[in-house]
Structure 1
Amino acid sequence: MTADERAARTRAADDLCSTAYADCSGPDNGVALVAVGGYGRAELAPHSDLDVVLVHDEGVELGELATKIWYPLWDSGSQLDHSVRSLPEMVAAADADHRVASGLLDVRHVAGDPNLTLRLRTTMLAQWRKGARERLPEVRTASLNRHRLIGELAHLSVPDVKEAEGGLRDATTLRGIVATWLVDVPHTELEQSRQALLDVRDVVQQLAGRASDRISPEMWPDLAVALGLADDRAAQVHVREIGRRITHLSRLAWRRVDGVLSRPRSPQTPRRPVLEPLAHGVALSAGEVVLDRKADPAHDPVLLLRAATVAAERNVVLAPATAARLVRECAPLPEPWPEEARHLLVRLLASGRGLLEVWETLEETEALTRFLPEWERVRLLPHASVIHRFTVDRHVVETCIEASELIRTVARPDVLMVAALLHDIGKGGLTEHSVAGEPIARAVATRMGFEQESVDLIAHLVRWHLLLATTATTRDPDDPATVDLVASTMGTAEALSLLSALTEADAKATAPKAWSSWRAGLIVDLSRRARAALDTGVALPPITTDELTVPDDLDPASVSITVEPVPDGSRITTIALDRVGLLADFAAMLALQRVPVRAARVWAQGEYGVSVWEVGAESVDPAILRTKYDAIVGGRADPLTRFAPGADALAPTVVVRPEASEQATVLEVRAADRPGVVYLVCSALARLDVAVRSAHLDTLGPQAVDVFYLQEASAGALSETRAAEAAHAVRAALS
């Protein structure tokens, strides 16, 4: 339907332009009005510009012809992108800029001299093919820069259907690659995907009421209705699947271009393709893994995994036609898998960066369902947390790539790689994904032929893959209960070592901030302590805090504030006469300055209270902080009026965790991440005369997860009644 609408819009635009040309008596020879770009391809969206050029032969005088043509087009309300050039000027502009050259590949006659348009089109195509070897690297560089700037259509939270990787711009680039005659691209698949994405863009512009190519979150339900899809989730899958397919075709095409450009210009082309044997039944031909002439898919159930593994390890293309053939002809894997199949899968997962494109080929050809049907659970599934830069399936592949760098740090690389593959397999349901994923991982590992001990270990890693990251960032590392939780849950040093590697790989695959030096330090330290407890049965002693030297000039009414740069931020140390509410005032000081707090440790040193704050700001002026602190203490600044709780969509949760410590009462607070949360919590506790021993602060997307270790001002954990009172007060302060 939308293709017909695009054709109707193009016909209307053609009528408008040709009428304007005729009304000003445009000549029939030597001058032509041509459409280029999207208008040239007859693919006008509801709010597209009319991209036109008035072309003329050299020596033809136009006078006021151009102005006479443009005015009625402007008067019609059309958005016009216009220019006037002679044929030689068109050729020179295309020679100087690959973007102009690419746009002129879609030149289409609208009015005037059709022979001139034909000469222009023929010249542009000839020039494009003649200079393809020099031009294509420029096009590739421009595309990669755009991808880095915009992101990938399949994974963006607000997809750009034109400029993102896998969008319409890339689809047009692929058409240009095909026009060079250097390589081929699956034309039918490309054109179907391109037309489907044009349909999406048409609806997006209709919904936006303007020339927009971005799908905002609120558009998904209406987009689903317009495209005849079940719901907003189906609309997301539809759009992201198109983007992924175009990305796959683009990467395949550029691989083939690289192969052509790396060969001499005039090679002696053999009559039959040269096959370089790589493994049993598998060979390399023109830079792509294919089947050799002796391959017997019907009697070799491991052939698909063998071909994929060889391609990934060599970082070359697994020919899509080969993968598709193996889907049709390869014998199914027996259950449990033979040892060779299991070893090949582990090698495939551990192949590093070469895994990505091979895995995409397996997805696009539906070959994954042959050995991992559970993959459909997470395919193109968006993450609930915005901190993730990829959809769940791509995140899993990236986790495997990161884990491949760590296989020499663990005793069981095979277990690590399969756990990395399956760690998020439980996502997409209502049950906590680590809980839901455990039985799925157990079933998959059993089918793969792992012995029972390894099956149990893989399932255990999937169940507890968040343990280290969550505990390290939300629990006091100096509390024996924290180390005991990790050690008792993992049970063995081998399991803990695997969990440490999986945690690092999972975090690095999530986003750069998920494995900052601060987070990494917390996780590594907790893992080290738990490892010592498992190895010796005795936990390492807590990190002792050396007494800090109190400045000689620090009077009882003053404060000492020092700032020390650390990786990814700063460490702020404060010393002041101890009192209830001191921590709240320091939290307010930092919040007023919009300094993001990661963690805080507090202790008493004689009559002074000392606090050390790990913050995310790299440049903090202690003089400004001292001014803010003095204003708060002196009553000139009232933080309560600045950080009063807002109307959040979700109510805050405040929970007492009695199992987390025997020395203190642990209060876990989850609320919208905004300045002042720590202050509101600490001030509410101060009003109850409750002391904060330490605070452990974390941010998961838009949510703050803050944990406070509380004691009575006279020392000791809170009673159940006092703990409930504290939780109620904090909840009220944040609500």
Structure 2
Amino acid sequence: MTAAERAERTRAADELCVKAFASTGCPDTGVSLVAVGGYGRQELAPFSDLDVVLVHDPDVGMGDWAGQIWYPLWDSGANIDHSVRTVEEVLEQADADLRVATGMLDVRHLAGDPNLTLRLRSAVLNQWRRDARTRLDDMHELVSERGRMTGELAHASVPDLKESVGGLRDATMLKALVASWLVDVPHADLERCRVALLDVRDALHEVAGRATDRVAPEYWEEIAPLLGLADGTAVQVHTRGLARRLTHLSRLAWRRAEAVQRQPSATGGRRPRLETVAPGVAISFEEIVLDKGANVAGDPLLLLRAAAEAAERDLVLAPQTAARLVREAPDLPDPWPVEARDLFVRLLAAGDGLLGVWETLDETGALERILPEWERVRLLPHASVVHRFTVDRHLVETCIEASTLIRRVARADVLMVSALLHDIGKGQLTEHCVAGEPIARAIAVRLGFDAREIELVGDLVRWHLLLPETATTRDPDDPATVELVTAKVADREELELLAALTEADARATSEKAWTKWRASLVRTLVRRAAAALSDEPMPDDDGVEIEIPERVRTDPSSVSVVAQPSGDGPATDGSRITVVSGDRIGLLADAAAMLALQKTSVRAARAWTQDGFGVSVWDVAETGLDDILLRQRLEAIVDGRIDATERLLRVAPVKLEPTVAVRPDASPRATVVEVRSADRPGLIHVVCRALAQMDISVRSAHVSTLGPQAVDVFYVQEAAAGALSEERAASAAHAVRQALVSAFSAPGTN
């Protein structure tokens, strides 16, 4: 199946149409026969219809010839889709129906008055370009609705070469977008994919013996020899790869078209404005690009930082930016530093924004550098028809589903990495859970996880089918059923991670994989297994004693701030900041505000009371911090010269609301309040301030940032010491949650 064969079919059809026009006595002027749609583009498949329009001037009298022209075409056995219209009627129909409008963009002269055809083509194009801005929303909705109905050609089990997302209809829409002059699309790339998909459709027609665009599973093998490919699997990989590239081009073009539509129509010759959002990363025209002066050659984290920012903000990661970073940025060290892993987890947990960014990383070759094991599952079809997507897309969809469940688990980072890798063993000769475990463990080592975390990732990949298989095939009332789970799951932390992964995996598979019945069975099994597993209490210590600075001992109202590198030698990774002052309610909130105003990213923190002094130790990502400047800022906050609450910038609203829980059995001496929320600047300050306003003392704090989620545990007491009453604890939890919702759910500035 080649372009030459399509050209020959088009030539034969053109000859047939010209003869039909000449045989019926049509006037030489004021009338023309034109081809539109696929026939206009000269893309006839073996069983394609001939889409033709007989166009005439209004003053041309319509004789018998207007109806007789179709008889020779019918007699030839051709399938024709025909109409008779004036130029004005064509424009009216194109204005009323987008499908007609896009088909008429490819109008091609066949016979009759060429000047009339030229007028028609000019009028259609002028109308399209004039009205393009006002029709973009309808165009995009048409594309989206088609996608909802037919799925994605790159991933659907029974794809439609024409109507599925990434199919020939999308290629036509891209050409229409380009014709509008609003956006551009890489022409050579678009044509390469479109022509290759036409070859696949021609082969499909040949093996099916009829006009069809849906590739049933049995057709893949038969198509292979017609395309010169080894087997059906090779045809699938070839076809789905073309479709994925078209999908990427289409999504990028639509995002850019929408951005153009939101901008004033007259922007003049102004240069794009850069808005810095992270080191080396900026926003320009709603796309993530490199900032001015970005240290491309010296920053191995720049690619991950740009990807995470794009996904979290649901913006386009400019392909040119990703491609340049692939070419010029240094490789990540092995193992990855903590900041690299955090950026990777933020990317995975970004929700819907992950998909487009992941596609860009894949299409630009960035995934080969970040995660070379991805090639194992790239475009790999699932053996089961229950799956909606190919393996690689399923893994991305599982991450998107898992991002909505991170409030349920303490280790969001482990959950997100396990979601990405749970099917990484697919395509191997052995059972994929078994094959995937060592691959996942090796990746976890490279990502820089510690021994416990590597064990968790490996176990989650190994046993990710344990809960659904056990819940649906065993008697839930039999103690042996619970024992089957507890024999393989180490503790409740691993169980809660496995439960979240199970739900995310099922939801990403299909609606049938996570029905109410299945969900109920799994959740019942999880509750019983959790009851059977011991739950270790939270740590309840007062920290390690430090030497109290003399100036603070002399004047407890003063503050001491010391910033030191957190590692040894040139390989330091962040700083450790120690804050000491006389113990008082609100001190921890002020210290947190100091760091938030400094725009310092807190990785972990501990706070305790020592000999009547308040001590807090903060591990942060930044290096080279000036402890004198930090102390001056803290003093200004303490003295009231800086209103931290007013000064702290609001950030983009979070998608998931925070959870605040009281753990009554975690400590005999204090009340434990656990906060799980999106990691945001000022988060710790908001929590501590809410507690201070209730005259509640934070005796100890254990703060951890795990990718996009902060899991913060606060040991609190009444000001006069002692744990909170049940009613008081509930009020404190409610106050903290309301403070977080108020601070981070309102629209803000980035």
Amino acid at match of 1:401: I
1:477 maps to 476
Question: How big is the shift at 1:536?
Answer: 6.7
Question: How big is the shift at 1:24?
Answer: 2.7
1:532 maps to 531
Whole-Å separation in 1 of the counterparts to 2:268 and 2:454: 51
2:491 is equivalent to residue 492 of structure 1: yes
Whole-Å separation in 2 of the counterparts to 1:254 and 1:317: 11
2:492/2:535 contact within 8 Å kept = no
Question: How big is the shift at 1:156?
Answer: 2.0
SS at match of 2:263: coil
Whole-Å separation in 1 of the counterparts to 2:410 and 2:138: 46
2:119 maps to 119
2:29/2:112 contact within 8 Å kept = yes
Q: Give the number of equivalent residue pairs.
A: 536
Question: How big is the shift at 1:270?
Answer: 4.5
1:244 maps to 244
Whole-Å separation in 1 of the counterparts to 2:506 and 2:290: 37
Whole-Å separation in 2 of the counterparts to 1:232 and 1:392: 17
Amino acid at match of 1:324: A
Q: How does 1:98-137 map to 2 (within 5 A)?
A: 98-137=98-137
Amino acid at match of 1:151: G
Whole-Å separation in 1 of the counterparts to 2:421 and 2:103: 45
Aligned Cα root-mean-square deviation (Å): 1.3
1:216 maps to 216
1:549 maps to none
Whole-Å separation in 2 of the counterparts to 1:483 and 1:161: 47
Q: After superposition, what is the alpha-carbon deviation per residue over 1:583-611, rounded to whole angstroms, capped at 9, x for unaligned?
A: xxxxxxxxxxxxxxxxxxxxxxxxxxxxx
2:200 maps to 200
1:709 maps to none
Question: How big is the shift at 1:375?
Answer: 0.4
Whole-Å separation in 2 of the counterparts to 1:214 and 1:518: 33
Which range moved further: 64-73 or 378-387? 64-73
Amino acid at match of 1:202: D
Amino acid at match of 1:520: A
Amino acid at match of 2:284: S
SS at match of 2:10: helix
Whole-Å separation in 2 of the counterparts to 1:493 and 1:6: 63
SS at match of 1:244: helix
Whole-Å separation in 2 of the counterparts to 1:216 and 1:514: 23
2:57 is equivalent to residue 57 of structure 1: yes
SS at match of 2:53: strand
SS at match of 1:352: coil
SS at match of 1:489: coil
2:77 is equivalent to residue 96 of structure 1: no
SS at match of 2:271: coil
Q: After superposition, what is the alpha-carbon deviation per residue over 1:53-73, rounded to whole angstroms, capped at 9, x for unaligned?
A: 111111111301222321111
2:79 is equivalent to residue 79 of structure 1: yes
Whole-Å separation in 2 of the counterparts to 1:85 and 1:270: 42
2:46 is equivalent to residue 40 of structure 1: no
Amino acid at match of 1:333: L
SS at match of 1:200: helix
Whole-Å separation in 2 of the counterparts to 1:150 and 1:448: 37
Q: After superposition, what is the alpha-carbon deviation per residue over 1:423-446, rounded to whole angstroms, capped at 9, x for unaligned?
A: 100000110101000100111010
2:399 maps to 400
Q: How does 1:132-211 map to 2 (within 5 A)?
A: 132-211=132-211
1:430 maps to 429
Whole-Å separation in 2 of the counterparts to 1:275 and 1:196: 38
Question: How big is the shift at 1:149?
Answer: 1.5
Which range moved further: 328-337 or 136-145? 136-145
1:700 maps to none
SS at match of 1:148: helix
Amino acid at match of 2:461: V
Amino acid at match of 1:366: G
Q: 1:536 to 1:448 in 2, by over 3 A?
A: closer
SS at match of 1:435: helix
Q: How does 1:481-560 map to 2 (within 5 A)?
A: 481-535=480-534
Q: How does 1:655-694 map to 2 (within 5 A)?
A: none
1:588 maps to none
Whole-Å separation in 2 of the counterparts to 1:239 and 1:147: 17
SS at match of 2:156: coil
2:426/2:432 contact within 8 Å kept = yes
Q: How does 1:227-376 map to 2 (within 5 A)?
A: 227-266=227-266, 268-376=267-375
2:456 maps to 457
Whole-Å separation in 2 of the counterparts to 1:311 and 1:536: 39
SS at match of 2:51: strand
Question: How big is the shift at 1:535?
Answer: 2.1
1:643 maps to none
What are the ranges of 5 or more consecutive residues in structure 1 without an aligned counterpart?
538-735
Whole-Å separation in 2 of the counterparts to 1:509 and 1:536: 30
Which range moved further: 402-411 or 440-449? 402-411
Whole-Å separation in 1 of the counterparts to 2:284 and 2:269: 12
Amino acid at match of 1:479: D
SS at match of 1:324: helix
Q: After superposition, what is the alpha-carbon deviation per residue over 1:444-482, rounded to whole angstroms, capped at 9, x for unaligned?
A: 010111112211111111111111111111111111111
TM-score normalised to the size of structure 1? 0.72
What are the ranges of 5 or more consecutive residues in structure 2 without an aligned counterpart?
537-750
Whole-Å separation in 1 of the counterparts to 2:307 and 2:386: 31
Whole-Å separation in 1 of the counterparts to 2:14 and 2:449: 66
Amino acid at match of 1:82: H
1:421 maps to 420
Question: How big is the shift at 1:488?
Answer: 2.0
Whole-Å separation in 2 of the counterparts to 1:157 and 1:445: 31
2:443 is equivalent to residue 444 of structure 1: yes
SS at match of 1:131: helix
Q: After superposition, what is the alpha-carbon deviation per residue over 1:90-137, rounded to whole angstroms, capped at 9, x for unaligned?
A: 122112222211111000001111111111000000000111122221
Whole-Å separation in 1 of the counterparts to 2:358 and 2:345: 13
SS at match of 2:395: helix
Whole-Å separation in 2 of the counterparts to 1:237 and 1:431: 22
Whole-Å separation in 2 of the counterparts to 1:500 and 1:364: 33
Question: How big is the shift at 1:180?
Answer: 0.6
Whole-Å separation in 1 of the counterparts to 2:81 and 2:411: 62
Whole-Å separation in 1 of the counterparts to 2:91 and 2:419: 53
Whole-Å separation in 2 of the counterparts to 1:536 and 1:65: 88
Whole-Å separation in 2 of the counterparts to 1:5 and 1:535: 71
Question: How big is the shift at 1:77?
Answer: 1.1
Whole-Å separation in 2 of the counterparts to 1:128 and 1:536: 66
1:647 maps to none
Q: After superposition, what is the alpha-carbon deviation per residue over 1:488-524, rounded to whole angstroms, capped at 9, x for unaligned?
A: 2112111111111111111111111211111111111
2:3 maps to 3
Amino acid at match of 1:67: G
Question: How big is the shift at 1:147?
Answer: 1.5
Question: How big is the shift at 1:19?
Answer: 1.7
Amino acid at match of 2:312: E
Amino acid at match of 2:56: H
Whole-Å separation in 2 of the counterparts to 1:422 and 1:391: 14
Question: How big is the shift at 1:212?
Answer: 1.0
SS at match of 2:488: helix
Question: How big is the shift at 1:296?
Answer: 2.3
SS at match of 1:82: strand
2:728 maps to none
Question: How big is the shift at 1:263?
Answer: 2.0
2:150/2:159 contact within 8 Å kept = no
Amino acid at match of 1:8: E
SS at match of 1:535: coil
Question: How big is the shift at 1:275?
Answer: 0.8
Whole-Å separation in 2 of the counterparts to 1:89 and 1:438: 64
2:628 maps to none
Amino acid at match of 1:525: T
Amino acid at match of 2:446: R
Question: How big is the shift at 1:271?
Answer: 2.7
2:381 is equivalent to residue 382 of structure 1: yes
Whole-Å separation in 2 of the counterparts to 1:14 and 1:408: 64
TM-score normalised to the size of structure 2? 0.70
